[in-house]
Structure 1
Amino acid sequence: MTVFPKKKQVQIMEAWEALIYSYDEAQYYMKLAIFEGICSSCSIFYDYVHEQWLIPHKERFVEAWTNRVMHFGNTTTQRVESAHWSLKRILQDSIGDICSVWETINSMIVLQHNEIIASFEKSIIQKVHRYSNRLYANLRGVLSKNAIDHIAAEYDRVKYVSIDQTECRCTIRTTHGLPCACEIARYSMIPRSIPLDAIHGWWSKLTFHVDASSQPSELSVKHEIDVIVKKFEELDVPGKISLKGKLREIAYPSTTSMFPPVAKVKTKGAPKKDKSKVSKRDKSTKRDPSW
């Protein structure tokens, strides 16, 4: 087995990384020639990589080809491997019975489910100062935070590519269904906010109760209303009155159950005393003699 010097290994890995991150076929073949030149002293290694990986499988991991399909950033099996590793770590061994294994798997899935819900809530509630720009007005609280991060990264590229599609290459539009730098530049020139129609619906799914194909304009509160009605029927009379009052404040914001006081009450300063009724002795701070 051939063992390369450390410096040679670094050169090979850098050339390999540049090869798989080629943004088009022309650059790929140019980087391939560089990779072949670096591996000239180890032709067996190069032949193996080229014949066993690049020729039959390059379309599956080289960006020049993977950037032609919409994958939403999921280009590796890392998620599957991570889930498998988490499961093995929780199981610890392979001698458990079916019931214990089932309970363990169920607990892991519930935990992952809760983490996803937490990420949804974070995208809806969390306010990021960086995204206070009018450009993101239609996106805040509607899209995944990860999607807005991608859009912000493209917005940073606007100063370099402007509306030039050749320079932009529009990769994020193809792979993620999000507006690319040249598209954002056109919105900035109008100026106007990025419309939701320019975002793939996959990024606006922030709940498990809404169909993935639904757009924010088609959202419904029917499920929530049904839950409130069911909750209302289970409450006692005081609870029903309280819940109904809260719903009235939402349905009729111009009305309120609060009333102003009958008489105006002064809330600042100590009450003034009537000087005519206060004797000099009462105002004195002299200590009374002890008997």
Structure 2
Amino acid sequence: MKKLVTGILLILIAAVITACGSTASNQSSGEKGKESKEIKIGATAGPYSDMVKKAIKPGLEKLGYVVEIVEFSDYIQPNKALDNGDIDANLFQHTIYLENFEQENNMDLTALLTVPTAPMGIYSNVYSSLDEVKNGATITLPNDPTNAARALNTLRDEGLITINENADPLKVSEKDIDENKKNLKFQPIEAGQLPRSVESADLATVPGNFALAASMNLLDALALENMLDSYRNVVALSAANEDSQLAKDLKAVVASDEFEKVIDEEYEGFGKPEWMK
């Protein structure tokens, strides 16, 4: 009888241990599953961190993600954080900047997809229309090659200059101008100073991110850039995660009707990439 009782007790103890182990395993598995859904998305403070918050985060949360937005104040740290795994994705830069940055810093990042972006605009406190621009008017341009090309392409699109047809649109400079119809006087300055130059110059070409940072209304521009997709901001990931489930889910969220509705309601003047048109 004692042996029988002892045997039964051993069986019960073994069953309890097995059940506890199974429960612990399930809990561990569940915790790991939850952790895999906890992500961090980096963005520069302003319209793009706002876009993540209003247009991207809600869609990801519907898919079960727990999203933390990490704000940055410069254009260096977001890619460093992405490269070393401190964040899972970022949104703040266009493709050209990303490709140059990863080459210069020996990183392997990828542009997952382009998103609506604030375009460069031609602003003026002197003229209410480009038709009013007088001969010899002064116009400020960004002094960096990438944004200068954007400004010159915009002036061409508005008929103020013509550009050599053989010029690379991504590398256009003043030397590529064939005709300056209004004899505009170009004043290259630091891009961050362009919003202030509206007060001193007849015209100013201001990139959208700097215009918004200065509380300028994009729709106040006399003309907005017909932006090439290479200049539109992208959601970027580490190249190792290009085919991950997160990458697939980010694409689905940004391609959704809900995302486009938020853009239409909250981001007037933002130019949409070709895939959204």
Question: TM-score per shorter chain, which class?
Answer: under 0.3
Structure 1 length-normalised TM: 0.19
Greater strand content: 2
Structure 2 length-normalised TM: 0.20
Quick one: higher RCO (CA 8 Å, sep 6+), 1 or 2?
A: 2
- Quick check: which has more Rg, 1 or 2? 1
Greater helix content: 1
